[in-house]
Structure 1
């Protein structure tokens, strides 16, 4: 279920003009660190088209090369690794996504299970700090939102 959400998030996020993909170029969805999704993520990304842009998946063992990513699912081998990776991405205009099953560290979007359902929280304040704009349509679906200041 989470793998299908990841590429769809690009539809509801605006990046600074210099970070928008060029004509015919895809949005880059990166799995940084551990990738719990495998082929499910590839299949979900291949099915997504956003304003004429596809979604391409890249897998990175660490933060090196993350500047090319638009979205990044971040999960270290240990919770401390996830925190270190998020810290390394803190100044990049990359939408970071994490999962509660991997530890307490939170990206801008953070998956969790509530009452047996996959839900997510959004830190809109952190997204704004990095120059990202999250659509009110996505914010309305979140289980909770940290508002912009």
Structure 2
């Protein structure tokens, strides 16, 4: 797992191959960790000095690899996992929200519940970014890549660096 985080940090390796040594879930978890490093929140949604909340909705998202992110440092802050379920969509305080595949039938309701909250939404649900999610993780040609919905990101008051947008396989709302 440490290898996945190291690989995702190196310039030019954002499109990580799904290899025998790293599972697709491990690579996607590494992406989420790195997105947390690069997203910029508006002043009113800025994480406090200690925690960045990564909220999870869904059954065993990414085969449990997201749990390995709990407590990891991101600069001077710590990433904290917070579990939610579809029955309780009180998502205030979520800086990042990962919606697992088990919520495919509900993800639009979840996105609507967030409104324009300063939350970066992420998922590997098919067409997630195209349908209004912030960042969709997809596998193409045996590589994990990502798509961005820039309109959604802007409505949430978030900012992603141009470098990140340049390496996305597709940017909707540009």
TM-score bracket relative to the smaller structure: 0.7 to 0.9
| Aligned match for 2:62, one of 37, 47, 63 | 37
Q: Which residue in 1 is equivalent to 2:83?
A: 59
Deviation of 1:44 (Å): 2.9
Q: Which residue in 1 is equivalent to 2:135?
A: 109
Runs (5+) with no aligned partner, structure 1 = none
Q: Which residue in 1 is equivalent to 2:153?
A: 127
Between structure 1 and structure 2, the one with the greater Rg is 2
Aligned counterparts, 1:60-79, within 5 A:
60-62=84-86, 64-75=89-100, 77-79=102-104
| TM-score w.r.t. length of structure 1 | 0.85
| TM-score w.r.t. length of structure 2 | 0.74
Greater strand fraction, Structure 1 or Structure 2:
1
Partner deviation per Cα, 1:22-48 (whole Å, 9 max, x = no partner): 22x21000112333235421213433x
Runs (5+) with no aligned partner, structure 2 = 1-26
Q: CA RMSD for the aligned pairs?
A: 1.9
